[in-house]
Amino acid sequence: MNEQILNISGIHKNYGKIKALNNVSFDIPRGSVFGILGPNGSGKTTLLGILLDVLKSDEGSFLWFGQPSTPSTRQRIGALLETPNFYHYLSAVDNLKITQAINQRGTEADIHEALEIVKLTARKHSKFSTYSLGMKQRLAIAAALLAKPEVIVFDEPTNGLDPVGILEIRELMLELAKRGTTIIMASHLLDEVEKVCTHVAILKFGVLVAAGTVDEVLSNEDIVEIGAQNLKQLAGLFAQYPKVKSMQEKGNYLQLNFNLGTANLEQINRYCFENQVVLHHLLLKKKSLETKFFELTND
């Protein structure tokens, strides 16, 4: 997964005095599920528009598959920025036939394969008007799959869906990733990015504040929870522990912060035992996406 499928370099986009994107640069590896994360107004949709040649940047460049964007590279990319205008009185199959006719690509076998992937085969002859929101979104994904793209780009793919619909889209993305498709997803939903993505870039007011693997970006330290009968004694003991960066009381537990990868539970337990303290709670935690996202996107 070292090969880069997309290289973004120094992208700027202004709307008058508003800087929608300010010197944004990062790479997206082939085969990744890449989340572009940020609150509303952070520049996510603008960036996708530029990458898909819907908008032009003021400065900067990007390469798809190692080359500038062209009609031929664009054919290797599927996009779902908004739900297509399907005909409500037609079935899924007939709607996809129209999509194929417009794009002048694909076969009837491709339609049935796409419907199988998005799990709509049982409802392929049902009218679009009878579909739930989640099913409509899956049909839109099927339309994007008809050309067998190497990359699929989504903008807020679970917007407006109920929990069942969100789960369906999440499972579908993971299935597409298993098949080797690179997924690029813009979202403000922290939970979805944490559950689906392998990599993430976080935007704040058009500025890139972090990018990398989910673990690299969202875990910059080890957090250890410890508990004993006497918390004051425990705090005094770990005030002298050499590897602890900081320490806070969290209810019935003490929270210890270490540099990433340096917390050793066995050593901590032995240290307590050698100092006549018996732990009744010892847990290594990872910083939640919500905590890290809040830190990165708030002053």
pTM of the full structure: 0.76
From CA 173, how far away is CA 169, in angstroms rounded? 6
**Residue 287, both tokens:** 């910083």
Q: Which of 192, 217, 242 is the last residue of a domain?
A: 217
- Of the pLDDT bands very low, low, confident and very high (cuts 50, 70, 90), residue 286 is low
pLDDT at 144 over 80: yes
Cα 199 to the chain's mean position, in Å? 7
Contact 38, 10 (CB under 8 A): no
Range of the domain at 279: 220-297
pLDDT in tens, 99-141: 999 887 778 899 999 999 999 999 999 999 999 989 999 999 9
Q: Does one domain contain both 108 and 176? A: yes
Of 147, 118, 148, 152, nearest to 135 by C-alpha is: 118
Query: Quick one: 160 and 266 in the same domain?
Result: no
For the record, the structure tokens of 205 come out as 């007011």
Query: What's the structural domain count of the chain?
Result: 2
Residues 227 and 243 in one domain: yes
- 213 and 273 both lie in a single domain: no
Taking a C-beta distance cutoff of 8 angstroms, is the pair 155, 80 a contact?
A: yes
- Asked if 253 and 109 sit in the same domain, the reply is no
Helical H segments across 52-162, by residue range: 71-74, 92-103, 108-117, 133-145
pLDDT computed for residue 257 by the predictor: 86
Question: Which uninterrupted H or E stretch holds 213?
Answer: strand 207-213
CATH code: domain of residue 281 = 3.30.70.980
Q: What is the pLDDT of residues 215-243, one digit of tens each?
A: 777 666 788 999 999 999 999 999 989 88
Percent of the chain beyond pLDDT 70? 94
In whole angstroms, give the CA distance from residue 234 to residue 219.
25
50 and 8 belong to one structural domain: yes
